[in-house]
Chains A and B, each alone.
Chain A
Amino acid sequence: MLSTYSYPKFDYRRPAEIGGRAARQIVVVGAGPVGLATAIDLAQLGHSVLLLDDDNTVSVGSRGLCYAKRTLEILDRLGAGQHVMDKGVSWNVGRTFNGSDEVYSFNLSPEPDHERPGMINLQQYYLEEFLLKRANELTNLEIRWQNKVVAVDAHKTGSTITVETADGNYLLDVEWLIVGDGARSGIRRLLGLDIEGRVFQDRFLIADVVMKADFPAERWFWFDPPFHPNQSVLLHREADNVWRIDFQLGWDADPEEEKKPEKVIPRIRAMLGEQHAFDLEWVSVYTFQCRRMKNFRHERVFFVGDAAHQVSPFGARGANSGLQDADNLAWKLMLVINGSAPERLLDTYHEERSYAADENIMNSTRSTDFITPKSAVSKLFRNSVLDLARQHRFARALVNSGRLSVPSFLYHSSLNTPDQEQFSGKMIPGAPMEDAPMVSEGKPGWLLRHIGNTFVLLVYADHQPIAADLIQELQDCRVRGLAVRLFVVAADAKLAAAVGTQARVLIDCKGRFKERYDAVHGTAYLVRPDQHVAARWRTASRERLVAALARATCNSTIRSAPCH
């Protein structure tokens, strides 16, 4: 088989601790996308991080492929977003076919004025390579390859782990252990923790083929195509002229037999036609499960990504949701370590991310059930929907070939401050922030590029500057030493000039902030380090800000606050 990618080999170095024992504040296990993202995030926030991986290269073969807008925004914050953009294949349009007819198409990015597209396709090994490049720039992040955790003892104040290497074992006393060692998590097993859910009785063939083809960069999905009757097929473009083709095979298919080139090549030829020459790059047959751990936290051990939850591949909700785990955990851990928040803030990692995992499992299960109906009546409804979708918009909306990864609205998180005033639109407490074009210091840019790593207060000024004493009062607010970064979002440049040097200013040059955040003069948004809305008001005040910041960090002393 051909290879468009040469896998790097990372050097194992003999750890100084061999045969001995040392202490570490933060250890991350697993240098996949999620482990890397968590390690980078924590290192960027100023902590010293040790990342252990039992292998010595990046992800091999066909794995993650589609990275969603939200993931790109997180990667931007981690310093790897632009590399992914430059190498990846950007797409927004998905087409769905039944038989040989197109029944439906969707556009992931119907709204203008967002920096990042709906989705970008890139082989997982490139994503890992770009994250590693960023990780290597951080002097407080150490990566040890071919260091395998073989024993874990977890207790209230930390864990003791045994690490195995070619030169022997060593012990680490770890205060905070983050586990991103994948679906078959060794650490989850070592700790005897359950992961429960549903196994799907179906098999799928992945073929990555190299070819020069003039198909557009779109996601094409077939129900029951003439070249593969009664089963589904998915075609996707990747970087380097590689195309991902995914054939549903059914439960009775023999995986070993189906992987053979003499079996695979005719399938692909039937699909592409004789005119397209192609080479096989990778072939595998997979099955999948939808399941999650009961608790993503165990003492001071935190499970992220596939180690904590798994979904079917329809919807690209695996790596994308894992990156959001990292995004959610890092800032909470930073505040707890720095003494700005009590340890119970870390329970909200499980609260928020298990909610998101359930939503992802629900959506990917629904897609799977639509794509592979489990009963005769389910198939009858599915085919009726596809049939009616040619003509009727209501049926088109029911066609489900994968609801592509979007971030969860954490709208009932205990960290949110409920609205006390009327707002319209989607930016409710718990919402993942929407982007908007902003001019800052004379340069055009984007709102989300200014948000992250700390709490931020955005105050909107429409027809007059915000009172200087209010800005001062808000900037002086502290909750256990924690402050907010304040930006005045000004409706136009003239107003921005009037705000002067009293605060950082962003100019809402296209009015998208006003529109998307339902802002009027004086409207204020408190946003979290992971770019989720924590609270919003029509009028900000010291009392309101302190209460909301305390609530968002579990520092609230109000008895009724549901932080526990």
Chain B
Amino acid sequence: MPLMTEPNFKEFDRPVFREFSPGDDFYEALIAAHEGLSEAQSHEFNAKLVLFLSNHIGDLRVLREAFRLARESVTQP
């Protein structure tokens, strides 16, 4: 399966009435998960999060594609 770049957030067993809701639920939870952390701690959190999610995805072709897209989008000085 190729890397998914279409909107894909969902929560099973929870009805969705508005298209924006699952994405907003995710984003709020992500920011809340960082609450109270210093910048260095947030950096560490993000690294560990990438490790968890990468293992969950597992498919190296998908991961390499994600690394490539992320790298290409990084702001150049």
B23 partner residues in chain A, CB cutoff 8 A: 394, 397-398
Which size class do A's interface residues fall under?
A: 20 to 34
In the complex, how many angstroms separate the beta carbon of B26 from the nearest chain A beta carbon? 8
B27 partner residues in chain A, CB cutoff 8 A: 366, 370, 381, 385, 398, 400
In the complex, how many angstroms separate the beta carbon of B29 from the nearest chain A beta carbon? 11
Given A378-B34, A394-B5, A394-B8, also A366-B28 (CB < 8 A) = yes
**1/0 per residue A362-378: CB within 8 Å of B?**
01001001100001111
B69 partner residues in chain A, CB cutoff 8 A: 392
A194 CB–B CB distance under 8 Å: no
Given A366-B24, A400-B24, A426-B17, also A381-B7 (CB < 8 A) = no
Given A369-B31, A377-B37, A388-B73, also A397-B42 (CB < 8 A) = no
B11 CB–A CB distance under 8 Å: no
B13 CB–A CB distance under 8 Å: no
A377 partner residues in chain B, CB cutoff 8 A: 31, 34, 37, 39, 42, 46
Q: Closest chain B residue to A391 by CB distance? A: B73
A263 partner residues in chain B, CB cutoff 8 A: none
B75 CB–A CB distance under 8 Å: yes
How many of chain B's residues have a CB under 8 angstroms from any CB in A? 26
Whether the pair A387, B75 counts as a contact (CB closer than 8 A) is: yes
A393 CB–B CB distance under 8 Å: yes
Partner of B20 from the list A369, A375, A378, A397 (CB cut-off 8 Å) is A397
B20 partner residues in chain A, CB cutoff 8 A: 397, 400, 403
CA–CA, A392 to B42, complex, Å?
25
A406 CB–B CB distance under 8 Å: yes
Partner of B42 from the list A370, A376, A385, A409 (CB cut-off 8 Å) is A376
B75 partner residues in chain A, CB cutoff 8 A: 387
B58 CB–A CB distance under 8 Å: no
A288 CB–B CB distance under 8 Å: no
Interface residues of A in 383-429 (CB under 8 A from B): 385, 387-388, 391-394, 396-398, 400, 403, 406, 409, 411, 426, 428
B47 CB–A CB distance under 8 Å: no
CA–CA, A42 to B46, complex, Å?
55
CA–CA, A160 to B30, complex, Å?
50
Given A394-B6, A397-B23, A398-B23, also A375-B34 (CB < 8 A) = yes
Whether the pair B18, A381 counts as a contact (CB closer than 8 A) is: no
CA–CA, A426 to B27, complex, Å?
24
B2 CB–A CB distance under 8 Å: no
Whether the pair A381, B5 counts as a contact (CB closer than 8 A) is: no
CA–CA, A396 to B24, complex, Å?
12
Whether the pair B18, A406 counts as a contact (CB closer than 8 A) is: yes
CA–CA, A295 to B28, complex, Å?
26
B77 CB–A CB distance under 8 Å: no
B4 CB–A CB distance under 8 Å: yes
A393 partner residues in chain B, CB cutoff 8 A: 5-7
Q: Closest chain B residue to A406 by CB distance? A: B18
Q: Closest chain A residue to B30 by CB distance? A: A381
A409 partner residues in chain B, CB cutoff 8 A: 15, 17
Q: Closest chain B residue to A409 by CB distance? A: B17
CA–CA, A393 to B3, complex, Å?
13
Whether the pair A381, B31 counts as a contact (CB closer than 8 A) is: yes
A375 partner residues in chain B, CB cutoff 8 A: 34-35, 42
Given A393-B5, A393-B7, also A376-B39 (CB < 8 A) = yes
CA–CA, A382 to B19, complex, Å?
19
CA–CA, A381 to B26, complex, Å?
12
Whether the pair B6, A378 counts as a contact (CB closer than 8 A) is: no
**1/0 per residue B33-50: CB within 8 Å of A?**
011010100100010000
Whether the pair A363, B24 counts as a contact (CB closer than 8 A) is: yes
In the complex, how many angstroms separate the beta carbon of B50 from the nearest chain A beta carbon? 13
Which residue of B18, B31, B35 has the most chain A CB atoms within 10 A of its CB atom? B31
Query: A387-B73, A398-B24 known; 7 other A-B pairs, CB under 8 Å?
Result: A377-B42, A378-B34, A391-B73, A397-B20, A403-B18, A403-B20, A426-B17
What are the 5 A-B residue pairs with the smallest beta carbon separation, nearest first? Answer: A377-B42, A397-B7, A409-B17, A392-B5, A397-B23
Interchain Cβ contacts under 8 Å between A and B, 23 examples: A369-B28, A375-B34, A376-B42, A377-B31, A377-B37, A377-B39, A378-B31, A381-B30, A385-B27, A387-B75, A392-B5, A392-B69, A394-B23, A396-B7, A397-B7, A397-B20, A398-B27, A400-B20, A400-B24, A403-B18, A403-B24, A406-B18, A409-B17
Task: Report which A residues bind B (CB closer than 8 A).
Answer: 363, 366, 369-370, 375-378, 381, 385, 387-388, 391-394, 396-398, 400, 403, 406, 409, 411, 426, 428, 431
